[in-house]
Chain A
Amino acid sequence: MNVPSETASINGAALTATGISYAVGMAQLLEAVSLEVRHGMLLGLIGPNGAGKSTLLKCISQILAPTAGQVCLDGKDLQRQSPREIARHIALLPQSTTLNFAFACLDVVLMGRNPHLGRFQAEGARDRAIAQQSLQDTETEEFVTRLITEVSAGERQRVLLARAITQQPRLLLLDEPTAGLDVQHQLQVFMLIRRLVREGLTAIAVVHDLNLAARFCDRLVLLNRGVVHAHGLVGDVLTAENLARVFKVQAVVEEDPNLGVPRVTVLAPLDTE
């Protein structure tokens, strides 16, 4: 009788979203989307432009209030919690960040401590230590005093990731974390996320690059027009048939001989009806 309870504590669902719908005016952006992410897992959200991936991340973090459905983190309903309470458990790295103020990178990373600080409380030694650790993890400690407006796009994305980690979330939501990064930094970012997930963090990432998704995600959810088209293990979701139906491309999926994961080669766009 001990075995089931033990497996439950390791594999128990960290996040469950049930029947999430979201509409703006007449446009139904999400319709009855349900998903589940377990502790220490990286879930990849894939789908064509406009499928509702970013909207889903915002609904999960309650930045947008879903028109229907329920989101629970470790069994607790998020709709009943204040933005501050949610922010202590869930961090989000949005898709694009425009910054008009020349904050030092360290200042930006320290902002991640915001939900943990009282109104007039300044960041203390512990907060600085946490920020320092995130800077190390993202290999950005060398530009602590540099301005966020003056570092390159790739460096900036890593600093912003460091900021999200500094929030010390249990669930990390990433909206195209490697958009605009070169191949080396793409790999670095995903390897870092992978390491954090191994250490117990749970993460959901919107990923456009199907091969990155195949290589780094534990499971995938394929969204199409606000509806879950397929979900499950990488190999079950990334099939030529699914890609043809959802992405409208003719593709070959085979095992990559070097990595041992599915590799997607897109051959041609299919005529859309």
Chain B
Amino acid sequence: MLRRMLDVEVPLALRLALALGMLSLLLFLSFVVTMAIGAVDVPLHVTASIVLQQMGIPLGAAASDVHWSIISHVRLPRVLTAALVGAALAVAGATMQGIFRNPLADPGIIGVSAGGALGAVIAIHFGLRALHYLATPALAFIGALGAVMAVYALAATRGVDPLTTMILAGVAVQAFIGSITSAVLTLTANVNAMREIVFWLTGSLGARSWTHVQLILPFIVVGSLLLLFFARDLNVMALGEDAARSMGVDVRRVRLIMLALAALITAVAVAVSGIIGFVGLVVPHMVRLVVGPDHRIVLPASLLTGALLLTWADFGSRMLLRPQELRVGLITAFFGAPFFLYLLYRHKRQGTVL
């Protein structure tokens, strides 16, 4: 039924409205449910009304001060950070898969994660957080963008096929940066710093405040929206560079802009959350399974699905071993990897490429 509603013969606008409408509703409900449950349970209708009031819609029940502050000062910023990071990773993943015409591409492929990790590890090792509490995200951001620029600079030198060169340069830069990260890690004598580094490398959304939300929101919203501008170009580019050129797409330019935007929003996400794997890889596949490969739907739907997925992954990280908190990167890898294998198996059985 849903599949038929999303069929090619149904007009795009309708398919888009249907997919995005359902995902938005699910996302809102997930926000309310995951925020209501925790160390202190807040009734669902109270949670819903607080969220609505924060959105500027004065509706629903009055909340007690305790509930108000738990939801609006602790759980809401954390959930929003999770959703924004998930959205950024997923839409960046969908973009990379489109640009590289490779369903195995992931934002990490051009070195973003490796660079971010090095930046964060340096910040923690040298205790820079004592100087400023945002030193770790700042250095992670710089590291992430620095790595991408290195990959791009290496690949941009008169290569035969810039895309293949870029993937190879990405592998090399990742390995190189990884070795430095390991070296710094080895030199870290302080056990607490060591713990913090390991935590950062597995990704976490604990104790994220409104400051984090404010920091990443503009980048991720603007970056993602700009990516949507080029969705149809990405479709045409699926037929190959020559064909896309002959259909009027300035492939080199579009590719550069999209890579830069995807790298930027991934760097921002990595900066506040550490390394969270599999979201960028798996979410676009899940989305394509339902809505088909049209990037005009895949990109916005990935955005919302990524937000949805990381909201629940973060909820799982809080709840599974309560009161212990699991790293959210562990949750996404634990569930993402088997799911990805299932996709591979499914495609293998159907005899098609991913």
A182 within 8 A of B: no
Taking CB atoms, residues of chain B closer than 8 Å to A102 are 288, 292-293, 352
Within residues 73 to 122 of chain A, which ones have a CB less than 8 A from any CB in chain B? Answer: 82-88, 90-94, 97-104, 106-108, 111-112, 114-115, 117, 119, 122
Q: Answer yes or no: B247 CB below 8 A from chain A CBs.
A: yes
CB–CB B9/A63 < 8 A: no
Which residue from chain A places its CB closest to the CB of B158 in the assembled complex? A25
Query: Is A122 a contact of B13 with CB atoms below 8 Å?
Result: yes
Question: Across the interface, do B249 and A106 meet the contact criterion of CB distance under 8 Å?
Answer: no
Tell me whether chain B's interface is mostly helix, strand or loop, or mixed.
loop
Cβ-defined contact, B243 with A100, below 8 A? no
Q: Which residues of chain B are within 8 angstroms of A86 by Cβ–Cβ distance?
A: 248
A-side interface size class? 35 or more
B294 in the interface, Cβ–Cβ < 8 Å? Answer: yes
A92's partner among B11, B236, B243, B288 (CB-CB below 8 A) is B243
Please determine whether A94 and B294 come into contact, CB atoms closer than 8 angstroms: no
Question: Do A145 and B246 touch (CB < 8 A)?
Answer: no
B8 near A106 with CB under 8 A, answer yes
B238 pairs with A103, CB closer than 8 A = yes
Contacts of A145 in B (CB 8 A): 7-9
B242 touches A100 (CB 8 A): no
Tell me whether A117 and B232 are in contact (CB under 8 A). yes
**Which one, B232, B242, B243, B294, contacts A103 given CB within 8 A?**
B294
How far apart sit A92 and B247, CA to CA, in the bound complex (Å)? 8
CA distance A100 to B239 in the complex (A): 9
Q: A255 at the A/B interface (Cβ < 8 Å)?
A: no
In Å, the complex CA distance between A71 and B293 comes to: 36
- Residues on A with C-beta less than 8 A from B293 are 101-103, 107
Q: Is the CB of A99 within 8 A of B238?
A: yes
Chain A residue with Cβ nearest B229: A119
Of A88, A101, A107, A150, which one neighbours B248 at CB under 8 angstroms? A88
* Contact mask for chain B residues 338-351; partner A; CB cutoff 8 A; 1 contact, 0 none: 00000000000000
CB distance from A93 to the nearest CB of B (A): 8
* Contact among B7, B8, B245, B352 for A150, CB-based, below 8 A: B352
Interface residues of A (CB under 8 A from B): 58, 61, 63, 82-88, 90-94, 97-104, 106-108, 111-112, 114-115, 117, 119, 122-123, 144-145, 147, 149-150, 160, 163, 167, 173
